[in-house]
Structure 1
Amino acid sequence: MTQAHSHTSHRDSGHHHGHGPQAGRHQDGDGDGGQAEILELDAEVLAGHLASITARLPLKAGPRRIVDLGCGTGAGTFALLERFPEAHVTAVDASAGHLQLLREKACARGVADRVRTVQADLDADDWPDLGTPDLVWASASMHHMARPDRALRGVHRLLAPGGLFAVVELDGFPRFLPADAPEGRPGLEERVHRATDGFHAEHVPHRGADWGPMLTAAGFAVEDERTVAVDIAGDRGGTVGRYAHGTLRRIRGAVGETLAPEDLAALDALLDLDGEHSILRRDDLGVRTERTVWAARRP
């Protein structure tokens, strides 16, 4: 859970991707509020891609009972509610703050009667009662599990026979800058991302895992695996700039000490909101990443 990636939770140098968010414990230097901001921007920027993923799930019928594991502030929850208008969602996360924000959004959208929130750490030995869902959704949350094999078995027990488990993972942090940026330190973003490798190897060892074999070992039948490219251009009213700033700021907090001094100075110039080189002043930003989706059925 959140992340959270967020995956941003995303966790992932304090960030959660996409979406949602994370299912274990926090490593979030900015607290829930900072992570929630990233999750909200992530949801706004990647909403279209998330909708396309929910539309292509290999479902035999519209699910009525859904569990969103590591729901964060609700990107997946609300995408699923929109896609399946007869469904009710149990949204599960470790963060009370994220769940409160999700409840407020559900009320504002008029779907509070279709959402139940549960605060839980899914790395704990015993899970709370989450019902018997037809669909379990886990976006950017499974790689945060300390014992993913145990968590997968927990999902298998949870699902109704014939139910579907959808695991969605981002291929690392999104990229935002052109390869030749910034002036004077071209390729900075790739070097910053490489600096996160050691951090992730220690703190998020399951990031980038192939979930297919693990799902099979847990008793699932994998019915679909596909990778969806995300390539979004344009500033979208400044949203992409804020998303890039929040993401790079959180990465800097985790790995800043490992960067070359010149790279750290260039990164700080991008993150200086009042500076002439601020990333918010750029008109050449985009969002580039990939999402991989595994759809597995409990026989």
Structure 2
Amino acid sequence: MAHDHHHDHHGSAPAHGHGHAHGSGHDHSDMDWAEMAPLLEAQAELYTPLYRQALDWLAREAPDPGLVVDVGSGPGVVSCLFADTFPGARVVAADGAGPLLERAADRAARLGVADRFGTLTGGLPDALGELEYPADLMWASQSLHHLGDQRAALAALGGHLAPGGTLAILEGGLPARFLPRDIGFGRPGLQARIHAVEEDFFAEMRASLPGSVPETEDWPALLTAAGLKHTGPRSFLLDLPAPVSDAARAYAVSSLTRLRERVGEGLDAGDRDTLDRLLDPADAGSVHRRPDVFVLVAHTVYTAVRPA
């Protein structure tokens, strides 16, 4: 799904269209998901090499699932990758935003998998009670951190798994980097300072959620506490070196623009000025024009199995 994605760690861009629990207790009424959908799709498509690595790994961890549920699917880019990875599976894209699920269904139709693709609209994880039967594989990408009680949410997700079924959660990793430490103007280390501010904003977001429960982010321990058998984490890398494609450059621009809007006031005046220069298309040193822009990010996936 797709909120202001605590995406490449904590909020650098809208989600890849994949990961937040719409209707899960915080207000998304101000989000125009139909308007955001193209951006979410573009990000997910850019991240497809990373997702394919993760899904190939899951295909070895959980071969031949009958039902795959994408919890927080957004516009369905990754849901459709699941349909491609598991040609014998039925895939259900679950999200709280109807306009995004319409995009998911349209994508499934274009790719020729509509006959085994369904959508489920509603707040998560409660909406999963509408599933016709338990899932053999459940994927939750950067959605749990938008639920106040993450421990309870994991238990709820596990309760919708078939015996022997696998839950895969994508949480954490390393935030996206787009620029060298020293970009030739401003104080070196700008992105590191932006990420530090993001951490503070993320902590405030977590604390403000209804029913928020402070929790050590030890995902293996939380999965075990949910009654599941933790089977292992693995991290996956997206490495798009300079010179980047137009799509990768657009992603860097949109990510830094969103960061300027969301956390810019947490930076000092010098860093704000540097960031504004990076976002000025007329400046030769901007992200729009400079030749050294890259995209480097890591995501971590944790898996656990419901005991048979």
Q: TM-score with structure 1 length normalisation?
A: 0.88
1:3 positional shift: 3.8
Matched residues in 1 for 2:4 and 2:75: separation? 10
Q: Does 1:7 align with 2:7?
A: yes
Counterpart of 1:50 in structure 2 is 51
Matched residues in 1 for 2:188 and 2:62: separation? 49
Write out aligned runs for 1:151-170 (5 A).
Answer: 151-170=153-172
Q: Residue 164 of structure 2 aligns to a residue in which SS?
A: coil
1:245 positional shift: 1.0
Q: CA RMSD of the aligned region, Å?
A: 2.6
Matched residues in 2 for 1:182 and 1:32: separation? 37
User: Closer, same or farther in 2 for the Cα pair 1:102/1:139, shift >3 Å?
Assistant: same
User: Closer, same or farther in 2 for the Cα pair 1:213/1:290, shift >3 Å?
Assistant: same
Matched residues in 2 for 1:200 and 1:83: separation? 33
Q: Does 1:31 align with 2:32?
A: yes
Matched residues in 2 for 1:29 and 1:269: separation? 29
Counterpart of 1:178 in structure 2 is 180
Report if the CA contact (8 A) 1:13-1:27 is conserved.
no
Counterpart of 1:289 in structure 2 is 297
Report if the CA contact (8 A) 2:20-2:72 is conserved.
yes
Counterpart of 2:19 in structure 1 is 21
Write out aligned runs for 1:127-276 (5 A).
Answer: 127-130=128-131, 131-171=133-173, 173-204=175-206, 209-276=217-284
Q: Residue 300 of structure 2 aligns to a residue in which SS?
A: strand
Give the partner amino acid of 1:22: H
Matched residues in 1 for 2:188 and 2:243: separation? 21
Report if the CA contact (8 A) 1:182-1:188 is conserved.
no
Report if the CA contact (8 A) 2:2-2:40 is conserved.
no
Q: TM-score with structure 2 length normalisation?
A: 0.86
Report if the CA contact (8 A) 2:185-2:274 is conserved.
no
User: Closer, same or farther in 2 for the Cα pair 1:112/1:275, shift >3 Å?
Assistant: farther
Give the partner amino acid of 2:217: A
Give the partner amino acid of 1:138: A
Matched residues in 2 for 1:174 and 1:200: separation? 16
Give the partner amino acid of 1:150: A
1:60 positional shift: 5.0
1:35 positional shift: 4.2
Size of the alignment, in residue pairs? 296
Matched residues in 2 for 1:37 and 1:282: separation? 25
Give the partner amino acid of 1:132: P
Write out aligned runs for 1:112-127 (5 A).
Answer: 112-122=114-124, 127=128
Q: Does 1:298 align with 2:300?
A: no
Give the partner amino acid of 2:196: R
User: Closer, same or farther in 2 for the Cα pair 1:230/1:19, shift >3 Å?
Assistant: farther
Over the matched positions of the two proteins, sequence identity in percent amounts to 33
1:160 positional shift: 0.6
User: Closer, same or farther in 2 for the Cα pair 1:177/1:236, shift >3 Å?
Assistant: closer
1:230 positional shift: 3.3
Q: Residue 97 of structure 1 aligns to a residue in which SS?
A: helix
Report if the CA contact (8 A) 2:70-2:94 is conserved.
yes
Write out aligned runs for 1:91-110 (5 A).
Answer: 91-110=93-112
User: Closer, same or farther in 2 for the Cα pair 1:160/1:187, shift >3 Å?
Assistant: same
Matched residues in 1 for 2:12 and 2:33: separation? 10
- Unaligned regions of 5+ residues in structure 1, if any? none
CA offset digits 1:3-49 (Å, max 9, x no partner): 453738x8x54734446121144669763256434432322222112
User: Closer, same or farther in 2 for the Cα pair 1:173/1:95, shift >3 Å?
Assistant: farther
